[in-house]
Amino acid sequence: MDRRTFLAASLAAPFAPSAAAGTGAARLLYVACPGIRDYLEFGGAGILVFDIDAGHKFVKRIATGASTADKPRNIKGVVASAATRKLHFTTPETLYCVDLVSEKTEWGKELPQGCDRLASTPDGKTLFVPSFEKDIWNVVEAASGKVVTNIETKSGAHNTVCGLDGSRAYLAGLKSPFLFVADTKTNKVVDKVGPFAASIRPFTVNGAQTLCFVNVNELLGFEIGDLKTGKKLHRVTVPDFKTGMVKRHGCPSHGIGLTPDEKEVWVVDAFNERVHVFDLTAAEPKYATSVKLREQPGWVTFSLDGKFAYPSTGEVIDAATKKIITALTDEKGRAVHSEKMVEIHFKDGAPVATGDQFGLGRKR
């Protein structure tokens, strides 16, 4: 795949909106806090729920086994499954399971070498949980929290994506310029992509699982990898913006997401307090515009229908017009910031569809 044809892999299939679209399901945004380190000023502790179709109005706060601790730990990642009716989240030490119907914390289990940003297979049965910046990913039975096996990369385990077809898990560590690819049936590393220019930070994958878009240390922008050949294709820099010291994460861009239709990639910029938008419909990624935010962002994801962008600073952005339409606030009127949020649709009191904390492409 050369520079002129890299988009063929991402534009091969039409975008399929959420299975719950048009069914009359309630669309809710679940925001795990504290989701910016352990800072309680950004929404306190717990799972905060917002009604997407009511202007992202605050609905309720769900207490958890983690939020009721004397000193709540920072949330490292969150996933949800309609099939199992469970939500899982991690702190640096512990994996928690919450029942989405009863809203009760069913269990919390400390895992070997700690926890970071996890991913779930689409059926909700298996979790891939990175250790806390150490050597392994724990492969966990989602129902019980039992560790089935582990995958060793010795890469400083950190961020995890499971592809939409459930066949592959993508494993990125803070100490490696390679993105490792694991087979979800054998729980073995079967490939790697790169090397990229530096260690991989947040990343995302297109729906066809042919391309990855990665943030790397020291880059205001992103790089693109070919998941089929294992080669790096592009390095893309945000034009006309300076870089400088940032409050968190230590890199200029820590957050990247594809719009569900894969026509754009959005990348955050902490120093300039912006999210930058690149057009992916041309032969090469082309800078389009930027949106000014209220604080330094460290993440971005999208609603399942692609209408809204959610940076970690809590603004809700109209993805078409690039205008901020509201900002998340809790029951006390505090600004809510979090890098850990997931969309969940409910019908007749039961979950029927879920999104993902990463801005995954959804063209299949």
Asked if residue 230 belongs to a domain, the reply is yes
Instruction: Classify strands 136-141 and 147-152 as parallel, antiparallel or unpaired.
Output: antiparallel
Which domain does 221 fall in, by range?
Answer: 6-10+24-354
Task: Determine the average pLDDT of the residues in 185-193.
Answer: 98
At 1-50, the pLDDT tens digits run 444 444 444 444 444 444 444 457 899 999 999 999 999 999 999 999 99
Asked if residue 1 belongs to a domain, the reply is no
Asked if residue 123 belongs to a domain, the reply is yes
The CATH number of the domain holding residue 40 is 2.130.10.10
Per-residue model confidence (pLDDT) at position 23: 56
Asked if residue 364 belongs to a domain, the reply is no
| pTM for this prediction | 0.94
Per-residue model confidence (pLDDT) at position 1: 43
At 245-282, the pLDDT tens digits run 999 999 999 999 999 999 999 999 999 999 999 999 99
Per-residue model confidence (pLDDT) at position 5: 43
Per-residue model confidence (pLDDT) at position 263: 98
Asked if residue 164 belongs to a domain, the reply is yes
At 109-164, the pLDDT tens digits run 999 999 999 999 999 999 999 999 999 999 999 999 999 999 999 999 999 999 99
Per-residue model confidence (pLDDT) at position 283: 86
Task: Determine the average pLDDT of the residues in 228-240.
Answer: 97
Whether 296 shows a pLDDT value over 80: the answer reads yes
Per-residue model confidence (pLDDT) at position 364: 78
Asked if residue 47 belongs to a domain, the reply is yes
Count of structural domains within the chain? 1
At 50-98, the pLDDT tens digits run 999 999 999 999 999 999 999 999 999 999 999 999 999 999 999 999 9
Mean pLDDT rounded to a whole number for the chain: 94
Task: Determine the average pLDDT of the residues in 310-334.
Answer: 98
